[in-house]
A and B are shown apart, each in its own frame.
Chain A
């Protein structure tokens, strides 16, 4: 075993091979704690009933984190304390962009957080340029040989972040780590990973940044809290980035458990496009008959005329094909589009085609709700009343629009049977942000 594989990590090893590890430099933890009724996993901190977790001969495994490789009472976890053995880099930042006045303010806040190793929440609207605001803080941390992790619940967000960070810090070794790829773990100063992967670390990071904290599938706060608590060092900085903070997060700020910065304006100095709602009754039964609501056709024909690309969100995968077939009837055949869903093998390909303007529209589920940026986009949600469109999902979807400086405006339509609490909440949040933003711009 390579020493670096266990440095700041939990390295699972079979009990029969326990002699192979060096107990001088590291120590061993039990993988599973067994109690009378249930078991608790050391790695993910979750409880499971004995019945679900049983192996023969009174052994137990944890089914909750098996996607990271099963651990059981047949294993122990070996860990070596983080040693921060990195090369000294004096000027790591190779980015030559410029921050706006508002961005600079937030960037300074973040740098201070890293200096005093505190907890911080950055609430910045979608398209505010959050990543760039991190650079100052990251530079400071890299110069001082701190170990850094930027994690997000979403794979897409990680995939987008990774190349941007590599470009900004060319001399720094950065690792991208998530379940859908084959890249093996190695010891690096910066790790970009999904929040699940944090469970494999133990007191490793001096700076831990979580991007899009509130996004699916990490709504399970217990697991997130456990992952964050164990992956960061006892004295370390924690920065949470979000465009749609939950009430719980804001409550933490109010209780002074976290410091806070706030940016209601986008990097190009414009506020968010405000979504328009349209009530469409019985859209689902219309769709079954191969028809679309009249209001929707009007919107789309206007978009087609303007020639800008657009996204249509639907609540379920099953509706993708129906919507696509129905839409085809109303538009010319040269208006090309496609459907995209989470496990679509051509998902990345299709998104690329939209960017290259080979496609004009995509019909999709909530998977494209965040992390993807197209210029000149318009969006529409069909069935915005569905419960998959949470308040934060709606704000995120609206946030796809108007991200480029050339066209900071655009259309956002929520088509729904009725105005749900989520829709009202999203509208309220956007109008609040815009009000604050306008005050700032005055």
Chain B
């Protein structure tokens, strides 16, 4: 018997009859069913084609139309697994800000499986970087933590701002006004004409991801899309 990582309640393993006669291993659970219910999956047909937000239809949402109007030719076609709701916010608090690295296991499998499923071949996987000061404090990059065996390339890095405020501490307006925070650190990795999939934990305004896209486009990348855990 184990305790749920999120609510600390004891978890009971429900064994099905089918499992008894199958060769499957018990899938390791990290959170209880009650907590699992609070995370809402975004359905394929019910999401914005531009940013992956959960909505009734699959047309472009208001924010994405705004990106287009502001001169963005090709949208990121972001795909997000979960709705960024109170449960997800609480998860991010525990994982990123309280810094319990073990919590990566809650979504690691699902995150990777979906990347494999939707973006199988011909993609270069690029996680969004964490700045040096945060990395020294936190000790991990929350995005690469969600990856286990996926081969990724860390070809972006944060510019060295001495007094950078974290994105998560800003208002929407402040976020949209930020300057290009990234620089290319891929050296001579050949990305010309290739397809890049940006990986991040949360898509909020899209500002950071579009900066990453902008930078990669100047390096001759053919297409840039993004994949996030939550939207």
Contacts and interface: CB of A to CB of B under 8 A. Distances in A.
A326 interface: no
B101 to A, nearest CB: 5
A389 interface: no
B140 A56 contact: yes
B137 A14 contact: yes
A61 B145 CA distance: 15
Interface in B131-145: 136-137, 139-140, 144-145
Contacts of A405: none
B98 interface: yes
21 contacts: A14-B136, A14-B137, A52-B102, A53-B102, A54-B102, A55-B101, A55-B139, A56-B101, A56-B139, A56-B140, A57-B139, A61-B99, A61-B139, A63-B100, A63-B102, A66-B98, A66-B99, A67-B98, A70-B99, A74-B136, A74-B139
Contacts of A52: 102
Interface of B: 98-102, 136-137, 139-140, 144-145
Contacts of A181: none
* A-side interface mostly: mixed
Contacts of A16: 136
A59 interface: yes
Most B C-beta atoms less than 10 A away, residue of A14, A16, A57, A63: A63
A40 interface: no
Contacts, number: 35
Range, interface on chain A:
10 to 19
A74 B134 CA distance: 12
A55 B136 contact: no
A57 B147 CA distance: 15
* B-side interface mostly: helix
B98 A70 contact: yes
B100 A66 contact: yes
Interface of A: 14, 16, 52-57, 59, 61, 63, 66-67, 70, 72, 74
B98 to A, nearest CB: 6
B137 A74 contact: yes
Contacts of A55: 101, 139-140
A345 to B, nearest CB: 14
B38 to A, nearest CB: 15
A329 B151 CA distance: 64
Nearest to B139: A55
Contacts of A57: 139
Given A54-B101, A70-B98, A74-B137, 14 more contacts: A54-B102, A55-B101, A55-B140, A56-B139, A56-B140, A56-B145, A61-B99, A61-B100, A63-B100, A66-B98, A67-B98, A72-B99, A72-B139, A74-B136
A212 to B, nearest CB: 22
A61 B136 contact: no
A14 to B, nearest CB: 6
Contacts of B136: 14, 16, 74
Closest 10 CB pairs of A and B: A55-B139, A70-B99, A74-B139, A55-B101, A56-B140, A16-B136, A59-B139, A52-B102, A55-B140, A66-B98
A57 B135 CA distance: 12
A307 to B, nearest CB: 40
A61 B98 CA distance: 11
